Amino acid sequence: MTQEQTIPLFEEVVNGWNKLSLSGGVKKESSDLRRARQSAFDKFRELGFPSIRNEEWKYTNLARFLKDEFTIEGWEVPGKTVVPDAALVKKAGITLLDCYQIVLVNGSWDGTIGGGTLPKGIQLLKVAEARQDPALSVYFEKQAAWGDQHFANLNAALFTDGLFIRVDAGVTVEKPIHVIHVYTSESNLLVQPRNVWVVNRNAELSVVESVVSGGTAKIWVNGLTEILVHQDARLHHTMIQTAGAGVRLVQQTTVHQHRQSLYNNFTITLPGADLVRNDLQARLEEEHTESHLYGLYLAAGHQLVDNHTLVDHQKPNCLSNELYKGVLLEQSTGVFNGKVYVHKDAQKTNAFQQNNNLVISKKATIDSKPQLEIFADDVKCSHGSTVGQFSEEALFYLRARGIGEESAKSLLINAFAFDVTEKIRIPEVEAHVNELISLHIPVNHA
């Protein structure tokens, strides 16, 4: 049986492709970009949506999420924006954080920036415009990089909007950019934001992304973010996912790192969205790069949270450090798959990975899979994975001081998360994340 017969979204995607060829501003795009879209679409059509027979999706069964019908929105009026719900934007706001704030609604930005005028040397553009700009088109044409990745190909074929950021060489942007992604709809929707961020030589930027949702419908977000961190550049990237019920969030982030660059990533997932699948890929393409990947996932309800990471050590003398911590509540399911690939050339690689899980409820599960593939012989690599429960001793100690069982558990969850949250470089963001953790620990854990 083909997917056309079983998955309504597959049919909608094919229809969408036909519509896109006629409108959506694609005609104004470069011929290379149009070719890239075509081959991405052909690839997706060949691959279809992933099933559990696919190794990368073994523990994440999409069947129950793909039953619903979704409509693709975007190309009738490319770049069209919905006015964001003020309450949602407020919810995503970070108390006391001095930042530039921009809001994307269903992947589109209206061009307004809160928090002051941007300094010289940084450009923010709508992707709806950037993709038609001959000078920027090159950033959207790299289809070959998506390989056999189902959702990345789907996005590469059909994307219409998103956020383009470029920082000029030598520029340090002092204030972080807070990007609030609002997803809201009254009818089921497939949204495919495409973001491209370029941090040029010796430039520095901090981006904090918050994902929130509203409305009553189901929304499938298939996000694709491509990041280029050039020589000596530094990018600090935090993603806080607090989308609510009905949202299926598939986010692929691919980072290309050049010589002596630094990339810090914090991926924080909180209870809410039905499905979260993060694919974070750090490609260390030149020597002496440094990458730190920190993750914290708190899953509850029937949520499925899957973090797939890839650290691709292509060249010698690079350092990668990865720490993912998970707290599984209620009937939630967590998946962690951390692949570290050290190429034959990548001698003197230092690659460290750790995944720790706290399973609070008897009905919650976690599949943790470290995956090291090392082809160089002079490297330092380590990995570890643990699954545990509350320490009874610690719980008793807190209770013996008058702290109720629920508060004690809440304190211990915060403490467990602390190894990750303390690394967040911006104190206001750290406080915000800690608050979210406390807020989302349900009263009844069982």
Partner 1 sequence: MLTIKNLHAEVEEKQILKGINLTVNAGEVHAIMGPNGSGKSSLASVLAGRENYRVTQGEVIFKGENLLDMSPEVRAREGVFLAFQYPIEIPGVSNINFLKTALSEIRAHKNLPPLDAKEFLRMSREKQKLVEFDAQLVNRSLNEGFSGGEKKRNEIFQLAMLEPALSILDETDSGLDIDALRIVSKGVNKLRSENNAFIIITHYQRLLEYIVPDFVHVLYDGRIVKSGTKELALELEEKGYDWLKEESREKATTI
Instruction: Give the residues lining the site for partner 1 (CB under 8 A).
Output: 391-394, 396-405, 407-408, 411-412, 414-419, 422
- Residues 6+ positions from 28 with CB-CB distance below 8 Å: 132
What CA dihedral angle connects 325, 329, 335 and 339, to 10 degrees? Answer: 0
CB-CB contact of 398 with 412 (8 Å): yes
- Name which of 372 and 403 has its Cβ closer to partner 1: 403
Strands 108-109 and 100-105: antiparallel
Give the shortest CB-407-to-partner 1 separation in angstroms. 6
Name the residue nearer to partner 1 (CB basis): 118 or 398: 398
Tell me how far, at minimum, the Cβ of 437 lies from partner 1, in Å.
11
CB 236 within 8 A of CB 229: no
The contacts of residue 167 (CB under 8 Å, 6+ apart) are 121, 122, 173, 198, 199, 200, 203, 204, 205, 233
Comparison of 87 and 400: residue with beta carbon closer to partner 1: 400
CB of 374 or CB of 395, closer to partner 1 = 395
DSSP states along 137-184: GGGG--GGGGTT-HHHHHHHHH----EEEEE-TT-B--SPEEEEEEEE
Burial of residue 403 (CB within 10 Å: 0-12, 13-18, 19+) is middle
Task: State which residue, 148 or 405, has the beta carbon closest to partner 1.
Answer: 405
Measured CA to CA, the distance from residue 427 to residue 420 in angstroms comes to 13
Which residues lie closer than 8 Å to 392 by C-beta, 6 or more apart?
none
Smallest distance from the beta carbon of 412 to partner 1, in angstroms?
Answer: 7
Question: Do 428 and 94 contact (CB within 8 A), yes or no?
Answer: yes
CB contact burial 342-357 (16+ within 10 A = b; e otherwise):
bbeebeebebbbbbbb
| CB of 89 or CB of 395, closer to partner 1 | 395
171 vs 358, beta carbon nearer partner 1: 358
Query: At closest approach, how far in Å is the CB of 271 from partner 1?
Result: 20
The amino acid occupying position 59 is Y
Closest CA to 356 of 324, 382, 309: 324
How far apart are CB 418 and partner 1 at their closest, in Å? 3
Token look-up 């390989």 returns: 147
With beta carbons less than 8 A apart as the criterion, state whether 314 and 344 touch. no
Q: How far apart are CA 40 and CA 36, in angstroms?
A: 6
CB of 404 to partner 1, least distance (A): 5
Closest approach, Cβ 402 to partner 1, in A, equals 4
Tell me how far, at minimum, the Cβ of 417 lies from partner 1, in Å.
7
- Least Å distance, CB 397 to partner 1, is 4
Cβ atoms of 339 and 373 closer than 8 Å: yes
Cβ proximity to partner 1: between 47 and 411 the closer is 411
In the complex, what is the shortest distance from the CB of residue 421 to partner 1, in angstroms, rounded to a whole number? 9
- CB closer to partner 1 out of 170 and 404: 404
Output 15 or 391, the one with its CB closest to partner 1. 391
Q: CA–CA separation, 97 vs 115, rounded Å?
A: 10
